[in-house]
Amino acid sequence: MPFPSRREALRGLLRAADLDALLVTDLVNVRYLTGFTGSNAALLVHAGGEAGSRFSTDGRYLTQSAAEVPALERVIERAGACALAGLAAGLGVRRLGFESDAVTVDAHLTLAEAAGDAELRRAPGLVQQLRVVKDDSEIAALRAACAAADAALADLLAAGGLRPGRTEREVALDLENRMRGHGAAGPAFETILAAGANSAIPHHRPTAAVLRRGDLVKLDFGALVDGYHSDMTRTVVLGPAADWQRELYALVARAQAAGRAALTPGTEASRVDAASRDVIVAAGRGPEFMHGLGHGVGLQIHEAPALSAAGSDTLAPGMAVTVEPGVYLAGRGGVRIEDTLVVRDGEPEVLTLTGRDLVEL
């Protein structure tokens, strides 16, 4: 299992930050470091090794935690973060880091009181630094999530589920259920199903709007498998495409191809955004591409790195990201094409395998 090696990697960051331990309270980070999937947990990672580390959850998860976190000594306590903070000084911790990006002001005051002689120090983003590059087990889970989404869309199209007369909500629910049928625990996020003029709204929520012949239909969706999220957008036309729809689609397809090609190790995230955005700007559509190019994806649907004009990360092999340019013509319709990819030496690995050619249904 990868969890002990992840905790060991974190210890290197703790020593570099002059911390004796880190109190992990963000449940996503707890899962990343232990594999625990329950709803209440905290983790103390000691810079000195596993012997000084502790895991805490409450009595509801007594059996589950024994199976999922067998390597760490457990503290069964509902207020686990406070319990671990109280143990820190006795474990030789003098400088106790805490996830200040995930702890409220009130919780901080409570933790400081519980920590006693241990000094609380802000330590935001340490685990996220590790999470940004995926290991083989994570990429395998992402592949499975992407495969479930690919299969669900193929099923939907084969069954004629994307047709005039259905509502946006009906199609979105149909697609989500098909993902479950292919092994997903559920959708990775609320499915975006946007038809006609609604497709020009980047994050439209499905409504009772009826799909009509001639509509552009944008489907932005993903599957959740083993805690990992996939993300894909495809845009189709119900019936023969009009000339303006073909032109818009071809423009976004060129921009998306440019973004994919720019995903090389050592490239700054902002330059990947620019590679795709420049194609759209050159066509005079810059103001109609009003969001970032993409984002990291993993245990959360949105995580580092951010592929945007302000993105400061440098790409490295193993980063999993989306590339999703879009052009949106208010009142008419919009096109977005999105894939989930892994940065590799050479060409990126595309995990969402549904074709990108314009589909006319």
Domain ranges of the chain: 3-131, 136-360
Sole residue written with tokens 């499915």: 191
What does each C-alpha distance from 214 to 2, 206, 261, 312 come to in angstroms?
50, 18, 32, 41
**In Å, how far from its chain's centre is CA 227?**
10
The highest-level CATH class for domain 3-131 is alpha beta
End-to-end CA distance of the chain: 45
Considering only CA atoms, which of 221, 197, 220 is closest in space to residue 209?
A: 197
- What is the reported pTM? 0.96
Crossing angle of helices 168-181 and 136-158, in 10° steps, is: 130
pLDDT of residue 1: 83
In our burial notation (b when 16+ CB lie closer than 10 A, e otherwise), range 101-127 reads ebbeeeeeeebeebbeebbbeebebbb
At residue 333's C-alpha, the angle toward residues 186 and 240, to 5°, is 95
What DSSP letter does each residue of 78-132 carry, written as one string? Answer: SSHHHHHHHHHGGGT-SEEEE-TTS--HHHHHHHHHHHTTSEEEE-TTHHHHHHT
DSSP for residue 183: T
Q: Which of 155, 204, 163, 164 is nearest to 183 (CA)?
A: 155
The pLDDT assigned to 325 comes to 98
Q: Phi and psi of 208, rounded to 5°?
A: -85, 10
d(CA 357, CA 19): 52
The Cα–Cα gap between 304 and 296 comes to 5
Helix (H) / strand (E) containing 270? helix 269-282
* CA-based torsion, 125, 46, 25, 342: positive or negative: positive
Closest CA to 35 of 75, 1, 77: 1
The total of other beta-carbon atoms located within 10 Å of residue 159's CB is: 11
CB 256 within 8 A of CB 323: yes
Superfamily of domain 136-360: Creatinase/methionine aminopeptidase superfamily (3.90.230.10)
Say if CB 142 and CB 230 are below 8 A apart: yes
Which residues are CB-neighbours of 132 under 8 A, at least 6 positions away? 296, 303, 304, 305, 313, 316, 319
The DSSP 8-state label assigned to residue 35 in this structure reads: -
Q: Kindly give the confidence (pLDDT) of every residue in the chain, 361 residues in length, as a single tens digit, with 9 standing for 90 and above.
A: 899 999 999 999 999 999 999 999 999 999 999 999 999 999 999 999 999 999 999 999 999 999 999 999 999 999 999 999 999 999 999 999 999 999 999 999 999 999 999 999 999 999 999 999 999 999 999 999 999 999 999 999 999 999 999 999 999 999 999 999 999 999 999 999 999 999 999 999 999 999 999 999 999 999 999 999 999 999 999 999 999 999 999 999 999 999 999 999 999 999 999 999 999 999 999 999 999 999 999 999 999 999 999 999 999 999 999 999 999 999 999 999 999 999 999 999 999 999 999 999 9
